[in-house]
Structure 1
Amino acid sequence: MSDRIYSGGCLCGAVRFEATGPAEKPHTCSCRFCQQHTGAPTAAWVEFPAGRIAWTGTAGRPSTWRSSDYSSRAFCPACGSSIGAIDDEPVVALLIGGFDDPADPAFTPEYHSFEDCRPGWLRVETASGEE
């Protein structure tokens, strides 16, 4: 665990971010909110305290849509790319695919949420070796 900087952004580059680590709770999730937010059967997330996120792109902070009583889904106002979720705690959960280096070992999922919503044909492996 280190206080390194992880960078990333949306497809068009208008929303860029720098997240100061350590990366927390990397995981995958198959809940319907994640499926509909990303268009994928499973989303891969990593969390950071909101105070450790700097929005550095020309668009500034991403646009949001309130998805529950405790969280808003974040997306680029220009290209529509999903960025993550901004929780009220305050926690920002960023989609791992939006990082400049999504293969970084710090993003290896530790667990899988909402396993019961995962399509039976999809296999998801976590750091613990669970599927």
Structure 2
Amino acid sequence: MGEKIHAGGCLCGAIRFEARGVAERPHTCSCRFCQRHTGAPTAAWVEFPAERLAWTGSGGRPATWRSSAYSSRAFCPACGSSIGAIDDEPVVALLIGGFDDPADPVLAPQYHSFEDCRPGWLRVGTASGEE
């Protein structure tokens, strides 16, 4: 049996992806970049090495906007859906909500980053029990 495929995509379906193998660093983040990128107070992410990711939809690779010295935010140019972040390392961080099965236990966030930016009224749980 081969590596597990984690598939997903944008709202309109033009941008689709398949990530192979083990999901790395599943986490939530409340930094201002994530908040503005997603429009939500917290984003849920998972990372894959770029060589284990294929862009499979008719739209090809997502559009990007350079958000920092080391990363670009990825989005669908047709529907505007946030897809994730393409880092220079070559790591691609994908938003968990874009997966076809966001409830897959291997995607469950293990920790929360930039808690200091999280609004005080929001509680964020992780698989490790952190808030």
What's the CA shift string for 1:72-98, capped at 9, x where partnerless? 000001001000000000000000000
Aligned to 1:62: 62
Structure 1: unaligned runs, 5 residues or longer: none
Structure-1-length-normalised TM-score: 0.97
Matches of 1:105 and 1:19, distance apart in 2? 15
Letter in 1 for 2:59: A
How high is the sequence identity, in percent, across the aligned residues?
Answer: 84
Matches of 1:38 and 1:67, distance apart in 2? 13
Count of matched residue positions in the alignment of Structure 1 and Structure 2: 130
Q: Name which of structure 1's ranges 2-11 and 16-25 shifts more when overlaid on structure 2.
A: 2-11
Aligned to 2:72: 72
Letter in 2 for 1:65: W
Structure-2-length-normalised TM-score: 0.97
Aligned to 2:52: 52
Structure 2: unaligned runs, 5 residues or longer: none
Matches of 1:5 and 1:27, distance apart in 2? 19
